[in-house]
Structure 1
Amino acid sequence: MTAIPKGPYILLIDDDSVTNFLHRSLIKDLNRGFEIVTCENGKTGLEFLERALAVNAVPYAIFVDLNMPVVDGFKFLEYYEKNNYPTLYPSLVTVLTTSNNPRDLEKLDAIDFVTYMGKPLTKQRLIDFLSK
């Protein structure tokens, strides 16, 4: 079971270990003091988030992949919204995806609490994102 960080943290939800390694490295290299929590699918991400929010450990940002086993990114976002998390815990939620499927992009455009960008993160995109 993943420990809940004591300080500011970023939640990465992605089933690809190479992508997680890259994103963790980018975030650490910026040296902004964020701890990083990684979950391998939407289900473990939701379970972690529920435990964290129960002790008021709200993530600074959440990066979530769309295509994952068990619970995908869309189901994660659906549950996140259903539980009123965007209002109660206004973290920056960003979908990182390789999808160019117009339906996926239309669905993401319709979700008002989420942004999306292509994978993988780059240093400049991460700097821009964290400057919001």
Structure 2
Amino acid sequence: MKTIPKGKYILLIDDDVVTNYLHKSLIKDLNKGFEVVTCENGKVALTFLEKALAANAVPYAILVDLNMPVMDGFRFLEQYERNNYPKLYPSRITVLTTSSSPRDLDQLDVIDFVNYQSKPLTKQTLVNLLTD
């Protein structure tokens, strides 16, 4: 079981170890005090979120990949919405993708509680995502 952070944290959902390392380093370099919790797929993330939200530990932001084994980003977002999390626990949700498929981008355009960015993140993109 992943440890539930006591302070501000970002939930990073991606199965790519190298991408996770880069994004965690980028977040740490911002020096904004965020912890980072990584989950390798949507199913693990939903299990973590259920426990974290029960402990009133709402993530500041969620960064989710689209293409993952077990449960991909689209299925994660469907379940996230089905659980009513966007209304109960508003977090900034950004889909990180390398996909340029019009089908994927069209699907993302109709999900009103997310935005999307190309991977990997840059420092400026991350600053923009986390700025109020």
Superposition TM-score, scaled by structure 1 size: 0.99
Alignment-mate amino acid for residue 103 of structure 2: R
What corresponds to 2:82 in structure 1? Answer: 82
Instruction: Please give the alpha-carbon distance, in whole angstroms, between the structure 2 residues aligned to 1:9 and 1:34.
Output: 5
In the TM superposition, what is the alpha-carbon distance from 1:30 to its structure 2 partner? 0.3
| Helix, strand or coil at the partner of 1:87 | helix
Q: How much has 1:94 moved relative to structure 2?
A: 0.4
Q: Which runs of 4+ in 1 moved over 4 A?
A: none
Letter in 1 for 2:64: V
Alignment of 1:1-132 (within 5 A): 1-132=1-132
The root-mean-square deviation of aligned C-alpha atoms, in Å, is 0.5
Q: How many residues align?
A: 132
Give the unaligned 5+ runs of structure 1.
Answer: none
- What residue ranges of structure 2 are gaps of 5+ in the alignment? none
Alpha-carbon separation, structure 2, partners of 1:80 and 1:43 = 10
Among all aligned residue pairs of Structure 1 and Structure 2, give the percentage whose two residues are the same amino acid. Answer: 73
Q: Distance in 2 between matches of 1:6 and 1:29?
A: 20
Deviations 1:43-85 (A, max 9, x none): 1111101110011100000000000000000000000000110
Amino acid at match of 2:58: V
SS of corresponding position for 1:36: strand
